[in-house]
Amino acid sequence: MAVPDIDMVLQNVSKVSSTGSSRPILTNTYINAYRRERRQPVHCSTEQVTEQSLAAAYARFNPAQRSAEDQVLDSLPDRDIEAAMHALPPQFREVVYYADVEGLRYKEIAAMMKTPRVTVMSRLARGRRQLRVALTPDGGLRDVGFEAS
């Protein structure tokens, strides 16, 4: 950010030299100039911008948009997830699939499976817990505050 133009500051000082206190005016002048500078668009050359650099910048500035679950699932091999999903009982597997893979809501899953919404919520919680146990080396004990032995 650029410091306010000295001519502008001196003009304001000369306006208040007869009134006495120039500190608030100088402070407000600085703040106004700073805000004005921030509102200006950033000018940069696009000659060296490539698709790869844009993708890298996007990934660097948007890591919070991905959930922790997505980041963990990306680090696991697909065959481990597939094996853990197949190890789930069918009623849990269906609910976990519809909620976490297809992104359906409880109400939509309940209508598809012809079960109450609270049953879907319970099966989803139990299915996720079983997946966590199957996919973590400590069996999911760390999440509840226990140390693995």
Report pLDDT digits (tens) over 43-52: 777 777 787 7
pLDDT at residue 82 in the model: 81
Kindly state whether residues 25 and 72 are assigned to the same domain.
Answer: no
Q: Give the integer Cα–Cα distance in Å for 118 and 14.
A: 73
Quick one: pLDDT band at residue 136, thresholds 50, 70, 90?
Answer: confident
Using the 8-state DSSP alphabet, how is residue 136 labeled? S
Query: Structural domain of residue 93, as residue ranges?
Result: 67-137
Q: Is residue 24 part of a domain?
A: yes
Better pLDDT: 54 or 70: 54
pLDDT tens-digit readout, 68-96:
666 666 666 677 888 888 889 989 999 99
pLDDT at residue 17 in the model: 54
Q: Is pTM, for the whole model, over 0.75?
A: no
Q: Is residue 55 part of a domain?
A: no
How many distinct structural domains can be found in the chain?
A: 2
pLDDT at residue 66 in the model: 63
Nearest in space to 109 (alpha carbons), one of 89, 129, 128, 123: 123
